[in-house]
Structure 1
Amino acid sequence: MIKNIIFDFGDVFINLDKEATYKELAKLGVTEISEEMIQQYYQYEMGLISTDNFVSFFHDKFNISKKDLIRSWNAILLDFPKHRLSFLKELATSNRYRLFLLSNTNDLHISWIQNDWGKELYDEFKNCFEKFYLSHEINLRKPNTNIFEFVLQKNDLQPSETFFIDDTKENTEAAKQLGIHVWNNCPKTEDVVNLLTKEAFN
């Protein structure tokens, strides 16, 4: 029986355009993504370097204005369909499941979301969850299995009683290795509001 649900954030609740940042950076002359750049991103996503250091790395390397870099970085973030919030609030109110958010994210993205949504909506969303885990705050990131082990251990969750939804296959595969039930959703054709129709819940 499923007792716990762990949700990803991007392309589960908020819509993303995952190519947008690459396209915007290309307009600024950054057409190749090096391993060094990827590692900076991973470090930033785990909160191991500051926003200033992250932005300065790209500014110094490519001589691009910090304002343009931040705008390009946040281009990935789109809208938050309100029917998903309604679904989440109903699920939280039902008290049938313990709800958790587990997101690979960073300070710039969360700051943009908080400003775009406003404090009231952001708090309304966040308060639906028992725990709200952001990678840059807990210094861990998916698909590393230690982030799932962290959530399980911190909250005394049994993998066999836990369901995880994420749009990235390598993330759901990592959780599955630990015995967690998973749904690797396709954002273009599937919606989190149909979660309870999944076999694990029936």
Structure 2
Amino acid sequence: MIKNLVFDFGDVFINLDKKAPEQALAKMGIRQIDDEMVNWHNTYEKGLMSSEALTEQYLKKFPALTALSFKQAWNSIILDFPQHRLDWIIQLAKSKKYRLFLLSNTNDMHIEQVIKNMDAMRYSQFQNCFERFYLSQQIHMRKPDLEIYDFVLQQDQLIAQETLFIDDTILNTAAASSMGIHTWHLEPGKEDITQLFKIKKQLF
């Protein structure tokens, strides 16, 4: 029986355009995200590199960039947060039927843009729905590394078999599943988080 629900953020609640940053950078002549850049991104998501340091690395590597053009390209991934999803999670939180957690790979610039797009009051309403709000840059771990799932289970004394993890990235759900956690690999555009209890009804 499921007692705990652990949600991803991007493309589960807030809409993303995952191709937008690469497309924006390509327009500025940056056509390949190499291994060095991927390493910067992962380090930044773990909160082990500041926004200023990430920007500086990009400006050093690509002198045609400016701090503003890089930030705009970086944040172009963040779109809207549909009201029906916010209403749904607020009602679920009010029901007190489940313990609710958020577990997201994100970073300071993206969260800043999320709050700007949502407005601070809606973001606060959303955050208050969860018992704990795990952001990768604050806990210095990221999905799909197994340590992050173990951390959440231990931190909140959750039993894996009583926990459902929802994420739009199959690597992340596969990692959680390997630890005995129930998972839903949500496919954006085909499924919506508000369909949770219909799509995964066998678990409830």
Q: TM-score, normalised by structure 2?
A: 0.97
Deviations 1:117-171 (A, max 9, x none): 2211110000000000000000000000100000000000000000000000000
Match of residue 95 from structure 1:
96
Match of residue 164 from structure 1:
165
Distance 2:104 2:81 in 1: 15
Gaps of 5+ in 2: none
Matching residue's letter, 1:26: A
Match of residue 177 from structure 1:
178
Match of residue 71 from structure 2:
70
Match of residue 27 from structure 1:
27
8 Å contact kept, 2:104–2:134? yes
Distance 1:95 1:113 in 2: 26
Match of residue 152 from structure 2:
151
Percent identical residues: 48
Matching residue's letter, 2:203: F
Shift of 1:115: 1.9
Match of residue 11 from structure 1:
11
Is 2:81 the counterpart of 1:80?
yes
Matching residue's letter, 1:24: A
Shift of 1:196: 1.2
Deviations 1:97-129 (A, max 9, x none): 000000000000001111222211110000000
Distance 1:142 1:45 in 2: 10
Match of residue 106 from structure 1:
107
Matching residue's letter, 2:195: N
Matching residue's letter, 2:55: V
Matching residue's letter, 1:19: K
Distance 2:132 2:202 in 1: 22
8 Å contact kept, 1:3–1:162? yes
8 Å contact kept, 1:2–1:200? no
Shift of 1:200: 4.1
Shift of 1:199: 3.5
8 Å contact kept, 2:12–2:193? yes
8 Å contact kept, 1:6–1:101? yes
Matching residue's letter, 1:37: M
Distance 1:13 1:48 in 2: 26
Distance 2:38 2:25 in 1: 14
Gaps of 5+ in 1: none
8 Å contact kept, 1:181–1:200? no
Distance 1:80 1:57 in 2: 31
8 Å contact kept, 2:79–2:117? no
Q: TM-score, normalised by structure 1?
A: 0.98
Matching residue's letter, 2:134: Y
Distance 2:184 2:202 in 1: 10
Matching residue's letter, 1:126: Q
